[in-house]
Chains A and B, each alone.
Chain A
Amino acid sequence: MFGLAFPWALLGLAALPALAALYWLRRRFRRVPVSSLMLWRHILRPREGGRRFEQVSAPLTFFLEALALLLLIAAAADPRRPRAEFRRPLIAVLDDSASMRARRPGGSPRERAERALENAARSPDIASVRLIVAGVEPRALEAVAPKAWRRGLTEWTCRAPEAALGRAIALAYEIGRGRARILVLTDRAPETPPESADLQWLAFGTPLPNAAIVTAARSAGERRDRVVVEFAAYGDAPMETRATIRRAGATPEIHVLRLDPAAPPRRMTFELPADAGDVEVALDDDALEEDNRAVLLPAPRAPIRVRLDLRPPLRDLVARAIIAGGRGALVETPDADMVIADTEVVGRDAADWMVRFDTAAAAASYTGPFVTRPNHPLLQGLSLEGAIWGARPLNDAAGEPLLFAGDLPLIAETPRAGGRRELRIAYDPSASDLHRTPNWPALFWNLLDWRADERPGPAEINGRAGGDALVRARTASGEIIVREPDGDIRRIRVRNGRALIPTANPGVYTIEDERGTYRFARNFFSPEESDLRAAFDGAWGGWTDAETRRVEYASSAALFGLAALGALALHSRLIGRTSNFTRS
């Protein structure tokens, strides 16, 4: 990129119109009637043996004078070109949020930003180009030569519900190590204008009115599903739009919505049959496409199958707790999801999860203090104060303790291969009253919920796009195949029976593994992105301050000055030839 040390010298360009005016006034031909052109033609007759007469070429002299003037002005402005040894890498931070695709006359912010990126990449002081796509998480792409700057643009989809610009800029600084020029291309103004001479912030947004779906959820009841959708408007005036609800086998429902930006989001609630399939809620087209559509998939209903190998009275206590929670179903088949036993179970490997009660006679009954492992899914919501827990404490071989009475472990966990788990619970019902408190059904609800969370498939069926979706695999390792909403296929590695699937794009994701498929939906719920009133158009910061220009840029004033002298010499020669002729 070229720079001018003295941009005010460009005011000298005002001399060009003055020069043109002078020439125009000088070259205005007076019309003079003459009796005959005979004598004038005699003057212009070619000289014998000499070169032909060349009429004074005033336009050429004008162009030479104008050129000399331009070159002198350019020399006065002291243009500076980058020294080869000071070429720097360019790191472009690209806002990948959906608002970059907002429809506006003259092109979306992304299209305009791409043009700005092209200009920056073509600057002669750029050694390489590296793109950082700032979606929910910043992603740094490979550095390429300036000519190949387009290579990473396919990653810049602008569908993310947010843009982690701050982290992306921090990453750019880290990668650049103080040598790179950082270009931020977004549609929002910076919170504080950048002070660094290495960072330039360009915003290409335009405030636009927009209506959006900001929340949608679907919960499964016993017989019907319940759907809640919230709509919001962002603009200066109330706006009217239509919400269309579509599901397979049913006529689309159209609701006319009048949304007031000053009011809270408008909520729509409706119920669906339990066997209803996917539901799509869509708004009419407006400035932003992504926030006009939400897809809600049916939530899974299958209960956890539990087989009890317990003796009374513990069997009855556990069975009542499981049935009361509604998350499990008691089965006698060997392929249960969980086996709860107080004896050695034949064929225990058939179950993934084993809960073993140690009902040996209690050595003592404990009233506390009970110490739990923080945030463990089994113990969330339990309040053991005042409870009496009679048991013979577990020994060290029982596994990792989860609950202590003082320093005596009462519940321990042993992870097994393939995502299986084994829990040991020391509990003597005859010396305890825990099963008479609300903690008892809560403990088993937690247990079944934990188990349900560990079932293969996505942890969350309907969620917000952006971030990673947790998917539990059937196997502890290997790969799963993910078909993204736009049809792309990705292979995701499974670690410890889990896979994290990036969900930058809203839509339905399909997961395939060896034994079946799962689906989950991600929707664009981002009020900050939907609110296009905050979009901004402007530029902040620059890459070159005076000191940098002095050090890293070489002055071209002398070249321009020499060129001006050349033009003046040519001008002088031309004028001299004309004068010689007229004198002769």
Chain B
Amino acid sequence: MNAEAREALRRGERAGARYRLAMPRDPATGRDGFRVGRLAGASLDFKDYRDYRPGDDLRHIDWHAYARSDRLVVKLFRQEVAPHADLVLDGSASMALDPVKAAAALEIAAALAAAAGNAHCTHRAWVADRALRPVGNGGEAPSRWQGIAFDFAGAPDAALRAGAGWRRGGLRVLVGDLLWPGDPLSILRRLSDGAAAVSVVQVLGAGDAEPPEPGHARLDDVETGESLELYLDAAVRARYADALAAHRRAWETACRQAQAAFAVIVATPPNTVSSPAESGFEPPSTVEQALPALAAARIVEAR
């Protein structure tokens, strides 16, 4: 990882310090920790009674109830857990379409990791390219992550459908540009399988959100190397915007069906504002601008 990527991770980590990851209503599972778990545990919060079964901790037998009813019952307490968040970063080459987009993706991933820490979650960062592979030091602070590279010449959908390694009962966040063909729902089902909550953050570059200037253009796919020559007039550019919006709606619909949160971030260079009229998206261009959008999508919460 180069210095710019490292700096982007630091910026994201700093920005994420003011947020925590939003927890689902259904308790998550995880190691013992500070969150109330779905299961009975060792917290002080009383949850329920049940009959004693051999092996139960004798310290939890309610002797007063035994005296009254001559029945051995044990008191159950809510489990206090430390939920886990799996952060999955799209590792395809299109994420590095421009430096701003790559930096934004890293910043958002780092901010989400920091927000996970603020929510007393453990986390693990993943990169989805040819396969799903853990980021070096991905369980530690983002500034210590190693080995993230946007250099895969292809779409990560196959790796996402495979999805091995995610911790069950945890939160899963996908950060990517989602610009690949195929049914989003199949990927979201895999993400949701065994997860307490799923969030999807679409990071688009300025070149993704807005088509090139009018005129003759040779469009080079940075992942496949294929080219397409077109004459771009206003009509063609409008049709591109329509196609991009339709693609976003497909992911939105799929996220709703999978009960996943969804947000779109357009990474524009600092001090520039994209055109909402043309792109249809809000114009946050840095992670500071992106985090409110993530909060609006109930992916993070302000502390």
Question: Which among B57-65, B107-115, B222-230 touches the partner chain?
Answer: B222-230
Kindly state whether residue A31 has any CB partner on chain B within 8 Å: yes
Give, as a whole number of angstroms, the nearest-CB distance from B45 to chain A.
48
Q: Which of under 10, 10 to 19, 20 to 34, or 35 or more describes the interface residues of A?
A: 20 to 34
Q: Which residues of A from 1 to 54 have beta carbons under 8 Å from B?
A: 26-44
> Residue of B at shortest CB range from A36?
B179
Which of the residues A29, A34, A39, A43 comes within 8 Å of B229, measured between beta carbons?
A29
Question: Given that A29-B217, A58-B231 are known contacts, is A39 also in contact with B236, CB under 8 Å in the complex?
Answer: no
Give, as a whole number of angstroms, the nearest-CB distance from A296 to chain B.
83
Contacts of B229 in A (CB 8 A): 29, 55
Judge whether A34 and B243 touch: CB under 8 Å. no
Contacts of A29 in B (CB 8 A): 216-218, 229
Judge whether B240 and A31 touch: CB under 8 Å. no
Judge whether B226 and A32 touch: CB under 8 Å. no
Which of the residues B94, B231, B239 comes within 8 Å of A36, measured between beta carbons?
B94
Judge whether B220 and A30 touch: CB under 8 Å. no
Judge whether B181 and A34 touch: CB under 8 Å. no
Interface string of B179-193 (1 = CB under 8 A from A): 111000000000000
Q: How far is the CA of A37 from the CA of B243 in the complex (A)?
A: 12
Judge whether B220 and A31 touch: CB under 8 Å. yes
Kindly state whether residue A56 has any CB partner on chain B within 8 Å: yes
Kindly state whether residue A223 has any CB partner on chain B within 8 Å: no
Judge whether A30 and B215 touch: CB under 8 Å. yes
Judge whether A39 and B216 touch: CB under 8 Å. no
Contacts of A38 in B (CB 8 A): 179-181, 247
Kindly state whether residue B244 has any CB partner on chain A within 8 Å: yes
> Residue of A at shortest CB range from B101?
A35
Q: How far is the CA of A160 from the CA of B217 in the complex (A)?
A: 72
Q: How far is the CA of A39 from the CA of B97 in the complex (A)?
A: 16
Question: Given that A30-B212, A32-B218 are known contacts, is A39 also in contact with B205, CB under 8 Å in the complex?
Answer: no
> Residue of B at shortest CB range from A31?
B218
Judge whether A583 and B223 touch: CB under 8 Å. no
Kindly state whether residue A582 has any CB partner on chain B within 8 Å: yes
Question: Given that A32-B207, A34-B219 are known contacts, is A41 also in contact with B179, CB under 8 Å in the complex?
Answer: no
Judge whether A39 and B94 touch: CB under 8 Å. no
Contacts of A28 in B (CB 8 A): 216
Q: How far is the CA of A42 from the CA of B228 in the complex (A)?
A: 12
Judge whether B233 and A37 touch: CB under 8 Å. no
Judge whether B235 and A35 touch: CB under 8 Å. no
Q: How far is the CA of A38 from the CA of B184 in the complex (A)?
A: 14
Contacts of A39 in B (CB 8 A): 179, 240, 243-244, 247
Q: How far is the CA of A31 from the CA of B227 in the complex (A)?
A: 9
Contacts of A30 in B (CB 8 A): 212-213, 215-218
Contacts of B244 in A (CB 8 A): 39
Kindly state whether residue B221 has any CB partner on chain A within 8 Å: yes
Kindly state whether residue B208 has any CB partner on chain A within 8 Å: yes
Judge whether A32 and B220 touch: CB under 8 Å. yes
Contacts of A583 in B (CB 8 A): 235
Contacts of A37 in B (CB 8 A): 219, 221, 224, 226, 228
Kindly state whether residue B177 has any CB partner on chain A within 8 Å: yes
Q: How far is the CA of A44 from the CA of B221 in the complex (A)?
A: 16
Judge whether A40 and B228 touch: CB under 8 Å. yes
Q: How far is the CA of A32 from the CA of B219 in the complex (A)?
A: 5
Q: How far is the CA of A30 from the CA of B229 in the complex (A)?
A: 9
Which of the residues B213, B216, B222, B243 comes within 8 Å of A33, measured between beta carbons?
B222
Judge whether A34 and B207 touch: CB under 8 Å. yes
Select the residue from A26, A43, A582 with max chain B CB neighbours within 10 A: A43
Question: Given that A40-B240, A582-B233, A582-B236 are known contacts, is A34 also in contact with B216, CB under 8 Å in the complex?
Answer: no
Give, as a whole number of angstroms, the nearest-CB distance from B2 to chain A.
19
Give, as a whole number of angstroms, the nearest-CB distance from B72 to chain A.
64
Q: How far is the CA of A237 from the CA of B116 in the complex (A)?
A: 105
Q: How far is the CA of A44 from the CA of B219 in the complex (A)?
A: 13
> Residue of A at shortest CB range from B216?
A29
Select the residue from A30, A34, A39, A43 with max chain B CB neighbours within 10 A: A34
Give, as a whole number of angstroms, the nearest-CB distance from A27 to chain B.
5
Contacts of A55 in B (CB 8 A): 229-231
Give, as a whole number of angstroms, the nearest-CB distance from B263 to chain A.
18
Q: How far is the CA of A31 from the CA of B216 in the complex (A)?
A: 9
Judge whether B180 and A36 touch: CB under 8 Å. yes
Question: Given that A32-B207, A33-B97, A35-B97 are known contacts, is A40 also in contact with B222, CB under 8 Å in the complex?
Answer: no
Q: Would you list 11 pairs from A and B whose C-beta atoms are within 8 A, ordered by A residue? A: A28-B216, A29-B217, A30-B215, A32-B218, A33-B207, A34-B222, A35-B177, A35-B207, A36-B223, A43-B243, A58-B231
Q: A32-B220, A33-B219, A36-B155 are in contact. List 17 more A-B contacts (CB 8 A).
A: A29-B218, A31-B218, A31-B220, A32-B219, A33-B97, A33-B220, A33-B222, A34-B219, A35-B207, A35-B221, A35-B222, A37-B219, A37-B226, A37-B228, A39-B240, A43-B243, A55-B229
